[in-house]
Chains A and B, each alone.
Chain A
Amino acid sequence: MEARIGVLICDCGQGMQNIDFGALARQAADLPGVTSVNLSSDLCLDEGTKKMVSLIKDENLDRVVIAACSPDMKEHIFRDMLEKAGLNGNLLSMANIREQCSWAHDGEVTDKAADLLRMAIGRVRLLRPVEHREFPVSTEVLVVGGGFSAISTALRLSGVGLRTTVLESEPVLGEGAGEKEDLHGLDRGSMIAAAERDGNIDILTCARIASVEGAPGDFTVTMRTDGTETARKFGAIVLATGFRTELTPGPDALIDARELCSAGVVSQEQLLGMLSNLGLEARPAIVGFLLDLADENSRFTTLATLNNALAVKSRWGSEVYVFCKDVKVDSEGTERLYRETRECGVVFLKCDSAPEVTVDNGKVRVEARDVFLGDDAAITCDLLVAEELPFPVQETEVLGSMFGVRLDSGGFYQDENVHLYPVDSERKGVFFVGGCRGNWDIVRVLTDVSSVVTSVCGLLCPGSIQVDVEKVRVDPQKCVACLTCIRVCPHSAIQLVRVDSGRDAAVISDLACDACGVCAAICPAKAIEFEGYRDDEILAQIEAVG
């Protein structure tokens, strides 16, 4: 059936003096399928759109081209206009004759405007409607991990009414590294107790994920506990698997810290234990700290060092020396803490290269070139608190691969892509929080937890997600199940499904698809159609250029 195309040209209140609109309208009218050409000055305003709705109905138009300002400005208004006129909102193609034509060039640009109009008309002929649908979603949330971030997230999600399952691979919660400090009145023990009591939170220990499939609002997670596998549905998944630390061997000058344990090289946690157990009689007279020498990401070790150095001063009154490169003060309250620490008599030795650490008569000798003294400083410590480097846990890579999400250059979630920050992954409905994504200082961890709560609520609380139905679709007749699109989809939106007896084909999930079209480009059988950006729709624009 011959298309009935309406061409609506707007001169934006005569703000485009270098286009001959009369000529433009005449050229449009001559093109096949163009039923009606209308020129106006205020298409996007109420009165303008009302007139167009009538025009569309009166002329029985079945698709519309609008030549005006950039689609980024008013396309949403024009799609609404089509819907009001009884047409599917997708049957619209726009020609950007303002920002990308009239305003971009000196002199007469009617020819270019005509080209852009012809391109839009060539495309609109081929457009097909795309329907919308509300997809009901599961309001259950899975939180993977059992540390501070995981428990905190679970408690808060439960608080807003979302049933949450906490999945921990160890037999008990709270064993992970980091976030051990009882700060901000957050007692880890009572948080775990609260989670255990909470009727809205299910805790599964000694449990691992065997597989995950599905889309936001509709994930199916197969969990393995005690050798049995159970599949459950979740609307959103939060990965809160934490991180681990290693006392650093560090570059060249530092000896493997583990070997020095007996000589008095300890971790921050071991120091805290000693502070509780050792009285003044047994106290180490000289305590050294190594900080920011082996890793730039030392915000959390800076906080620990400052707090613990103060504790050493107040409990033992020892001499305290901190060997460091730079003090990382870009967290809330850290600068003040740094000043307080120095005022208490803690000495900071700034070094631009790693110090030499040796064992000398059963004590630990640290020698470094102090930048400010311009000379070597050597301190023989009774106790040396070594630097701790953050590392991802083994699960991070395993789950990352299972979920189809990329890691950053340190092996943590998430890809170093600003558009994902703070807590998103490239797989909609899957989020990261806290240590496993590279935030280890308490303020940022708490903000992460809040951000995840916001994102999950926004996704699930409405109870349904609006989707475009089959905007990007695999034709099962053409699909050869080569799996290329499945491997290539950045959003894990494609699955292999049995379509009829014995045959498998790729199927794209409307919920998970982010409409990028990478699959459509790569499919070797050209089996994937992306409504609005199909090959023929793109080629039609190219062919229309004069």
Chain B
Amino acid sequence: MKAESRSVLVIGAGISGISSALELASAGFGVHLLERDAVIGGHAASFPCKATNICAECSACVVSDKLREAVQHPRIRLLTGSTLKEFRGEPGDFRVRIAQEPRYVDGERCIACGLCTDICPTDPKAICLPQADAVPLIHVLDEKLCLRSKGKECELCRDICPTKAIEFNRKRREEELSVGAVVVATGFEVFDAKKKGSLGYGRYPGVLTGLDLEHLLRREGVLRFPGGDKEPARIAFIQCVGSRDEGHPYCSHVCCKYAMKLAALIRHRSPDTLVTIFYIDLQTAGKGFARFFDEYKSDIRFVRGVPVEIMQAASGELEVKFEDISQGRVRRDTFDLVVLSVGISPRTDSWDLARILGLDMADDGFFDTAPSIGSNDTSVSGIFLAGTCQGPKDIPDSVAHGAAAASRVMELLGVPVQAGG
């Protein structure tokens, strides 16, 4: 059997790509894990734990565990700052060309001591950790901020680096890989809430997206809200922002649950805060959710009907205009903070990748699945989909879908069954 067919290319190191990579590596395949960013984990790595006095099954901790496993696995070769340029060949024998952006900090030598960041003269720092819990924990030099790209002679970071990990003369490099199969796990984009102008995102500081709230929680650990010096007493969540509408004829799967878990967390920490969720159909199905919902549903005010307009009053309060279905008239309720539950959108650059790989795109902009076993196959034999690039999913479903893609690779390339005991 050719050596190439024991190697797999996984494009995208979010939770789904990592799940695929780990399963394939466990089964003995060599995995080239390609990631465009300097760090792995994708969106899921930016979510906080939402436990109240019990686990909320948000799966943020599952992500942490898998990131660490992936970066330490001997059969997974991580290629950050990398994208796919060319693709040709047959299943079992694909030739791909990848391009890797120059990484001025050698990942093998960086010990994340932080001395380079301390000494860097720019503001914001040109060299730093992408985030304190970055995986891999390696510093990154941003050319755009670095003085050297402005023609200045500055070698402070390189000189102070105790392991000589920094080198300025690095170039973009390309590499040819031979692989037996490809798994596309490029993830999603968050719906840009500015597109719904009447909801005031970007104009009113008190209007956040669900993602903003998640990031704030992960960063700060406490629910500290922007603007005001007083704690918000009345918070509204608006569901289906960028889902189930003209441009997005699908449910994003995650928003009702993340809104409810965030609402429960808020109520748990600040029992005086009132939380309202405006929804169309409340998505409460799925393993492990009923128990949580039973406990918290009476703690949250649910209102059927999604508001279409938010205005900021002179006091800074937010007026949400909605149709009160129970009374059959339009109303305005006042809140201190409004959270827009933004949905999962397909990545706009999916089209580029589709062109290189010869993949079909579905009407809704996600990669199209070919009818076959499950929802991982594409119209190109040997290329499989994993995760949200195929359609909206929550974290457990993304992990499962990534594992499922691995099974399709195994069925294509074969896994030699060694004689057992």
B147 at the interface (CB under 8 A from A): no
* CB neighbours of A135 from chain B (8 A): 421
Q: Which residues of chain A in 282-316 are interfacial with respect to chain B, using CB atoms and an 8 Å cutoff?
A: 296-299
- B225 CB-CB contact with A under 8 Å: no
Query: Which residues of B have CB within 8 Å of A421?
Result: 59, 62, 287, 396, 399-400
State whether A328 touches B283 (Cβ < 8 A): yes
In the assembled complex, B418 has its CB within 8 A of some CB on chain A: yes
Q: Known contacts being A13-B115, A328-B283, A329-B281, is A449 close to B374, with CB within 8 Å?
A: yes
Q: Which residues of B contact A401 (CB under 8 A)?
A: none
Most chain B CB within 10 A, of A139, A296, A412, is at A296
Q: Does B282 contact A (CB under 8 A)?
A: yes
Whether B59 pairs with A418 at a CB distance below 8 angstroms is yes
Q: How long is the Cα–Cα vector from A72 to B414 in the complex, in angstroms?
A: 34
**Size of the chain B interface, CB-CB below 8 angstroms:** 75
The reply to whether A460 and B420 contact each other, CB–CB distance below 8 Å, is yes
Which of B40-48, B186-194, B208-216, B248-256 lies on the face that meets chain A? B248-256
Q: How far is the CA of A450 from the CA of B410 in the complex (A)?
A: 10
Known A-B contacts A185-B371, A330-B283, A458-B27; the reply to A14 vs B115 at CB < 8 A is yes
Interface residues of B in 399-421 (CB under 8 A from A): 399-401, 403-408, 410-411, 414-421
A211 in the interface (beta carbon within 8 A):
no
> For A184, what are the chain B residues with a Cβ–Cβ distance below 8 Å?
371
**Partner among A12, A350, A409, A447 whose Cβ is within 8 Å of the Cβ of B404:** A447
Query: Is the C-beta of A416 less than 8 angstroms from some C-beta in chain B?
Result: yes
A165 nearest CB across to chain B (Å): 15
CB distance from B155 to the nearest CB of A (A): 17
| B361: interface (CB < 8 Å) | no
- Of residues 317 through 365 on chain B, the ones whose CB sits less than 8 Å from some CB of chain A are 325-328
Are A72 and B68 neighbours in the complex by a CB distance under 8 Å?
Answer: yes
User: A42 and B420: CB pair below 8 A?
Assistant: no
Of the candidates B282, B283, B326, B418, which one forms a contact with A461 in the assembled complex, judged by CB atoms under 8 Å apart? Answer: B418
Residue of B nearest to A327 (CB): B281
Report chain A residues within 8 Å CB of B293. Answer: 296
Given contacts A138-B420, A372-B325, A443-B375, contact A15 B407 (CB under 8 A): no
**Chain B, range 365-421, C-beta contacts under 8 Å to A:** 371, 373-376, 391-392, 396-397, 399-401, 403-408, 410-411, 414-421
* A424-477 contacts to B (CB < 8 Å): 437-439, 443-444, 446-451, 453-455, 457-458, 460-464
Q: Check A326 against B27 for contact (C-beta < 8 Å).
A: no
Contact B162 A14 (CB under 8 A): yes
Contact status of A45 and B249, CB under 8 A, knowing A422-B399, A464-B418: no
Smallest Cβ-Cβ distance to A374: which chain B residue: B328
Q: Which of A108-116, A250-258, A333-341, A357-365 contacts B (4 or more CB under 8 A)?
A: A333-341
Contact (A438, B287) CB under 8 Å given A139-B420, A335-B244:
yes
Contact A437 B285 (CB under 8 A): no
19 A-B pairs (CB sep. < 8 Å)? A13-B161, A15-B162, A41-B163, A160-B414, A162-B417, A326-B284, A330-B256, A334-B251, A335-B251, A408-B287, A416-B287, A416-B291, A447-B374, A450-B403, A454-B403, A454-B404, A454-B406, A455-B403, A462-B28
